[in-house]
Chains A and B, each alone.
Chain A
Amino acid sequence: MSALLSTRALSKHFDGLVAVSDVDLDLTVGEVRALIGPNGAGKTTLVGMICGRIAPSSGTVAFDGRDITALPAHKRIGLGMAYTFQITSVFARLSVRENVALAARRRLAGGHVDSAVHEALAQVGLEERAGEEAGNLSYGHQRLLEIAMGLAQAPRLLILDEPTQGLSEGEIARFTGLIGGLRGQTTVLLIEHNMRVVWDVADRVTVLNFGEVLAEGTPQEIHENRAVQAAYLGTEAG
């Protein structure tokens, strides 16, 4: 199995503060990887460096065997990455359909856009809302729209930053099914706080703590890892 994404010694310092330190991360093609860790562990900074939103202080990012450390964000997306924002960042004054169409038009044209939009909206269950202004959707629906925008790009690597935050139980179940359906075709990197979702969908889990990789393994291994329990699950279990 080949690595789709590899980071080597990826680090980020903000004014002397270490946010991410020496992270080596390898994602194989088709896997669903969860990235977990306490708040402030550097998860969003790490994926920010992977997709080009944040310039690393040192280290490299390689995508599909090619060093992309110097590429600007839009070119990385062009290579087949998609990133959905943690803080909902849809185009509030545009229609739901147009939001997804913008994502699809990057690779498609004409009638293909419409069918891709329809498909992505159906996958997240928003097809009824296609004509509405995105800003009028509920918070949970905006999160789903974010995911639909990611899906419409038909990415090789889909990066989801806390996608289930604010979703209802039913929507979370649907989301879990959705990711399950992508398994094998799309590589997924998922930042997630909801442990049930992690155990359900992830092939492997990487735990970040204080900007460093604390542990990595199958959900089962992570579940049983004492260091992780101490750093993270302990507080979670309360």
Chain B
Amino acid sequence: MTRQTARILALHGGLLAVLFAAQFVLPAYHHGNLARIMVLASYAIGYNILFGYTGLLSLGHALFFAAGMYAMGLGIQYGGLSPAPAFLAGVVAGALISGALALLALRTTGVAFMIVTLMFAQAGYLTILYFGEYTRGDEGFVIQTAQRMLWGINLSDPVNRYFAAFGLFAISLSLSLWMVRAPFGRVLVAIRENEDRVQMLGYDTYVHKLGAMVVSGTISAAAGAAYGLLFGYAGASFASVQYSIFPLLWVLLGGAGTVLGPFIGTLFMFYLIDLSSGVTTAYMLIAGVVLVALTLFAPQGLAGEVRRRVWRGLP
């Protein structure tokens, strides 16, 4: 193991250790917040694989998040599934839908890719509304405590919930760290930098992008399924444009194309909105201002700045 690798493992393992230990010291309010942040950060990690590492800006990831959430939720509500197979159903739904969308959307590039993903996600959102009889539309439906018993463990209990969220986050983070250092991830980064050249090195860039989109969509769906399961609710708002913009915002803020960026961005943005929503109902104003400010002044994001100024080897 090189020194570089040791440092990388120490940094990312250190974060996981801190998050694991935090559950014993945090007051209840922040304890609950952090569980939520870890699930949302997993969503951001999924988004980052496509946007940060492959350079494809999707405006439709809410489709994958909601696919996971609804496949899980509807599976419990109407299919009588228990949490484990329901979660699995969510993950599979995410993989299938992201694969299907990738087949269409990857025929386009740049701005067209953004609009295509936006449109299909919007169609997904409207479909949830259209089948309001089952999905309860904007209102959503509650997943009862009794339906959230995983192998005798009550997922609505804060301690268990934190632990489950931590598990999801640890897996997502490790997967993303492993992937971006593996040959597959290196090719994704190269595609982001110069797709034409990658092709002329003999790589099938289409297949790589397809793989990136499916991995990205599947992690997003796992986060969506976990969110519904842990917090006991599925609603159409999680499929709306806003939930496609959120991971973009978190990743931009934390640092696109860095492994830690999604977590950092989610953490900051969550508390920023949490604080401002105490002052005004127009808390999305903060999101707007941050988006504009980031594109203007810090397109690299927080972890990106660290990479640029302090440690160039930051993965």
Closest to A91 in B: B193
Given A91-B193, A94-B190, A102-B190, also A51-B183 (CB < 8 A): no
Contacts of B205 in A (CB 8 A): 74
Contact between A78 and B202 (Cβ–Cβ < 8 Å)? yes
Bound complex: CA A94 to CA B205 (Å): 18
The listed residue (B183, B193, B203) touching A74 by CB distance below 8 A is B203
Comparing A28-36, A37-45, A103-111, A181-189, the segment that makes contact with chain B is A103-111
Contact between B183 and A91 (Cβ–Cβ < 8 Å)? no
Contact between A149 and B201 (Cβ–Cβ < 8 Å)? yes
The listed residue (B193, B194, B196, B202) touching A106 by CB distance below 8 A is B202
Chain B: interface residue total (CB-CB under 8 A): 17
Which residues of chain A (85-100) have a CB below 8 Å from chain B? Answer: 85, 89-94, 98
Contact between B200 and A51 (Cβ–Cβ < 8 Å)? yes
Bound complex: CA A26 to CA B79 (Å): 66
Interface check B199, CB cutoff 8 A? yes
Contacts of B203 in A (CB 8 A): 74, 106
Contact between B200 and A73 (Cβ–Cβ < 8 Å)? yes
Bound complex: CA A188 to CA B208 (Å): 30
Bound complex: CA A90 to CA B194 (Å): 8
Contacts of B190 in A (CB 8 A): 91, 94, 102
Contact between B202 and A89 (Cβ–Cβ < 8 Å)? no
Bound complex: CA A70 to CA B199 (Å): 16
CB distance from A85 to the nearest CB of B (A): 7
Interface check B274, CB cutoff 8 A? no
Interface check A6, CB cutoff 8 A? no
Interface check A101, CB cutoff 8 A? yes
Bound complex: CA A102 to CA B194 (Å): 12
Contact between A94 and B189 (Cβ–Cβ < 8 Å)? yes
Mask of B177-205 contacts with A, CB within 8 angstroms, 1/0 = 00000010011011001101111111111
Given A89-B194, A91-B190, A94-B189, also A77-B200 (CB < 8 A): yes
The listed residue (A75, A89, A93, A109) touching B183 by CB distance below 8 A is A109
How many residue pairs at the A-B interface have CB separations less than 8 Å? Answer: 53
Contact between B199 and A92 (Cβ–Cβ < 8 Å)? no
Contact between B200 and A85 (Cβ–Cβ < 8 Å)? yes
Contact between A74 and B197 (Cβ–Cβ < 8 Å)? no
Contact between B197 and A85 (Cβ–Cβ < 8 Å)? yes
Closest to A51 in B: B200
Bound complex: CA A132 to CA B57 (Å): 28
Given A91-B190, A102-B187, A102-B190, also A53-B198 (CB < 8 A): no
Contact between B186 and A103 (Cβ–Cβ < 8 Å)? no
Contacts of B198 in A (CB 8 A): 102
Given A89-B194, A94-B193, also A105-B186 (CB < 8 A): yes
Contact between A90 and B200 (Cβ–Cβ < 8 Å)? no
Residue in A77, A102, A109 whose Cβ sees the most chain B Cβ within 10 Å: A102
Contacts of A89 in B (CB 8 A): 194, 196-197
Interface check A11, CB cutoff 8 A? no
CB distance from A65 to the nearest CB of B (A): 20
Contact between A153 and B202 (Cβ–Cβ < 8 Å)? yes
CB distance from B206 to the nearest CB of A (A): 9
Contacts of A78 in B (CB 8 A): 202
Given A89-B194, A91-B193, A93-B193, also A153-B186 (CB < 8 A): no
CB distance from A106 to the nearest CB of B (A): 5
The listed residue (B183, B193, B199) touching A73 by CB distance below 8 A is B199
Interface check A83, CB cutoff 8 A? yes
Contact between A105 and B199 (Cβ–Cβ < 8 Å)? no
Contact between A92 and B201 (Cβ–Cβ < 8 Å)? no
Contacts of B204 in A (CB 8 A): 72, 74-75
Contact between B201 and A102 (Cβ–Cβ < 8 Å)? yes
Bound complex: CA A10 to CA B194 (Å): 28
The listed residue (A51, A72, A91) touching B194 by CB distance below 8 A is A91
Lowest 9 A-B CB distances belong to which pairs?
A77-B202, A91-B193, A106-B202, A89-B197, A78-B202, A74-B204, A74-B199, A83-B200, A105-B183
Could you tell me which B residues sit within 8 Å of A by CB distance?
183, 186-187, 189-190, 193-194, 196-205
11 additional contacts (CB under 8 A) given A94-B193, A102-B186, A105-B186:
A74-B199, A75-B204, A83-B200, A90-B197, A91-B190, A92-B193, A94-B190, A102-B187, A105-B187, A106-B203, A153-B201
23 residue pairs bridging A and B, Cβ less than 8 Å apart: A53-B200, A72-B204, A73-B200, A74-B199, A74-B200, A74-B202, A74-B205, A77-B199, A77-B202, A78-B202, A83-B200, A90-B197, A91-B193, A91-B194, A92-B194, A94-B189, A94-B193, A102-B186, A103-B201, A105-B186, A109-B183, A153-B201, A153-B202
